Homo-oligomer: A and B are copies of this chain.
Amino acid sequence: MMNYARHTTIQAVEGLSTQELDFLVEAQSNSIGALLLHFAAVEYAYQLQTFEGRDLTEEELSEWGPALNLGEEGRKHIRGHDLAYYLARMDQVRLRTYQLFQTVGDDWLGKEEQDFWYHKPANYYFMWFHVFEDEINHRGQIRLIRKRIGRMELETK
């Protein structure tokens, strides 16, 4: 499911230029580029949470903060990159996910529950479901933004 979600994400952004990846529908919007880096950042944060039981350090936050938080911080810091840059960052984190998953069995997904959102218990399966559930949510937004860009480009031709 995680890889299928990524497959559809990559389809949704295929061929986008740096300018298109930086495009903001409105002043308060997230760019497609920022959403792509968000996928890598969320996945990295859940690697730490589920395999190391910790949050990001200050140093890690200075690297991933804008992509995790999006909004003003994302608009300011995430721009000017081409598609290959975002895909490489996403691949790099995914590769580490594969390596980490190889250190555990399927039973790891369900064997333990931790205090999670709203102080309700969640196992690692739910946490990793959330990683790609968040990606699918934003992929829907990427598709909308891309359609919008396409119509604007048509209008200015």
By a beta-carbon cutoff of 8 Å, the part of chain A in contact with chain B is 1, 4-5, 26, 28, 126, 129, 133, 136-141, 143-144, 147-148, 151
Task: Tell me the bound Cα distance from A26 to B155 in angstroms.
Answer: 14
User: Which secondary structure characterizes the binding site on chain A?
Assistant: helix
Would you give the shortest CB distance from A34 to chain B, in whole angstroms? 14
Q: CB-nearest residue of chain B relative to A130?
A: B4
Q: Are A148 and B26 in contact (CB under 8 A)?
A: yes
Question: A147 — which chain B residues lie within 8 A by C-beta?
Answer: 28
Neighbouring B residues of A5 by C-beta, 8 Å: 133
Closest 5 CB pairs of A and B: A137-B140, A140-B140, A136-B136, A140-B141, A141-B144
Per the bound structure, the CA–CA distance linking A11 and B144 in Å amounts to 21
Q: Could you name 26 residue pairs across A and B whose Cβ atoms are closer than 8 Å?
A: A1-B129, A1-B133, A4-B126, A4-B129, A4-B133, A5-B133, A26-B148, A26-B151, A28-B147, A28-B151, A133-B136, A136-B136, A136-B137, A136-B140, A137-B137, A137-B139, A137-B140, A137-B143, A138-B140, A139-B140, A140-B140, A140-B141, A141-B141, A141-B143, A141-B144, A144-B144
CB distance from A12 to the nearest CB of B (A): 10
User: CB-CB < 8 A to A148: which residues of B?
Assistant: 26
Would you give the shortest CB distance from A132 to chain B, in whole angstroms? Answer: 9
Kindly state the separation between the CA atoms of A51 and B28 in the bound complex, as whole angstroms: 45
Known contacts A26-B151, A136-B136; 17 additional CB pairs below 8 A are A1-B133, A4-B126, A4-B129, A4-B133, A26-B148, A28-B147, A136-B137, A136-B140, A137-B139, A137-B140, A137-B143, A138-B140, A139-B140, A140-B141, A141-B141, A141-B143, A144-B144
